[in-house]
Amino acid sequence: MVRIIVSGGIGSGKSTVTSIMQDQGAAVVHADEIGHMVLEPEGEAFTDVADTWPSVVTDNAIDRRKLAAIVFSDDAALAELESMTHPAIRRKLAELTRLVHTNLLVVEIPILRDFLNSSWTKVFVTAESHVRHERLLARGMDEADIHGRMRAQASDATGVAWADYVISNNGSLEELETEVHALLSSLGDG
Same domain, 157 and 122: yes
Contact by Cβ (8 Å): 183, 147: no
Residues 84 and 68 placed together within one structural domain of the fold: yes
Q: Please determine, for residue 28, whether its predicted confidence score (pLDDT) is greater than 50.
A: yes
Bridge-partner residues for 3, per DSSP?
105
Domain final residue pick, 101, 124, 155: 101
Indicate if 190 and 108 belong to the same structural domain. yes
The count of domains in the chain is 2
pLDDT of residue 161: 87
Secondary structure tally for the chain: helices H, strands E: 9, 7
pLDDT of residue 49 exceeding 90, the answer is yes
* CA distances to 38, 39, 56 from 8, in Å: 22, 23, 27
CATH number assigned to the domain comprising residue 56:
3.40.50.300
Shared domain check, 21 and 79: no
The verdict on 84 and 47 lying in the same domain is yes
Task: Check residue 190 and give its pLDDT.
Answer: 56
The answer on 53 and 118 residing in a single domain is no
pLDDT reading at 4 higher than 90: yes
Query: Which residue type does 110 have?
Result: P
pTM: 0.82
Phi-psi region of 61 (alpha: psi -120 to 50; beta: other; left: phi over 0): beta
The answer to whether residues 185 and 28 touch, using CB atoms and an 8 Å cutoff, is no
Do residues 108 and 154 both lie within one domain? yes
pLDDT of residue 116: 46
Domain of 94 in residue numbering reads as 32-101
Q: What is the pLDDT of residue 180?
A: 97
* pLDDT tens-digit series, residues 150-182: 887 778 888 888 899 999 999 999 999 999 999
24: left (phi over 0), alpha (psi -120 to 50) or beta: alpha
* The predicted structure's pLDDT at residue 112: 63
Mean pLDDT computed over 117-133: 88
Mean pLDDT across 55-68: 95
Q: Is the pLDDT of residue 113 over 60?
A: no
Q: Answer with the one of 76, 101, 126 that is the final residue of a domain.
A: 101
Buried-exposed string 11-27: b where 16+ CB fall within 10 A, e elsewhere: bbbbbbbbbbbeebebb
Range name among 2-6, 71-75, 118-122, 138-142 with the lowest pLDDT average? 118-122
Q: Of 46, 78, 101, which residue sits at a domain end?
A: 101
Higher pLDDT, 16 or 110: 16
